[in-house]
Structure 1
Amino acid sequence: MPFHRMNDNILQFRRTSQESEKPKVRERKQRSLHPVVRRRRLIWLGAMVLFFCWAIVELIVQQVHIWDREKILAERKAELADGQRHTKELKDEIKKLHDEKYLLELAHKMGFGKPGEEVYSTGDD
């Protein structure tokens, strides 16, 4: 049989039945792994499985934290909107307090009046 390299596909000869049995025996021997190699592969596989399990658990835990933070953020945004609405109401009230007619109306509601003016309360307050 001529010399044959792995990358050289030009010359290929068929083997006879006697020659083809021998490599199968060799292949069987090569297929069985040495116990040290098998142990290393199992340890590597176990380490990878543990790593991926840890990564999945961390992703789940982080997602739960994100959901909790989003819930808190939504609550804070609602509080902020409520505070802004209250601030706007107070600013509107301040603007009204600068108006003399409004101040006079509030004074009449509290039972005050101008000198010489009689104030009647109807009890509708």
Structure 2
Amino acid sequence: MNYFHFKGKRRLAQHWQRRILYKYGCDIEPGVKIHSSCIFPHPVGITLGKNVVIDENVKIHQNVTIGSSPLKSGKELMPKIEKNVTIFAGAVIAGDLTISQGAIIGANAVVSRDIQEKSTVVAAKPTILT
């Protein structure tokens, strides 16, 4: 898909994007830069926005969304995932941010700012007000 995208053959890139979506249930936009060592143990439900950069030895589990957050200027600024990062099921990473080397993003975590090297981010327990 990316081969065709970067060669200017947009229709073929879209064709392969649709085939991946139907076969695996994941939506990976043409233009995503994914290192060949990236692992998708369960690719169902993964969504990667255009121009996301994923470095080597990254593991992404099911139902993860990585993309832009809406901006007033209309630009879409995408995340950069560095080496040896693990992203667990249901996580959302949105905006112009960097997930630094060795970070772990826990299940259902929502990340909207930069994460330092070898940090762990987890979802907070929701509080129910009565």
TM-score normalized with structure 2 length: 0.19
TM-score by length of 1: 0.19
Higher strand proportion, which one? Answer: 2
Larger Rg: 1
**Structure with the higher fraction of residues in helix conformation:** 1
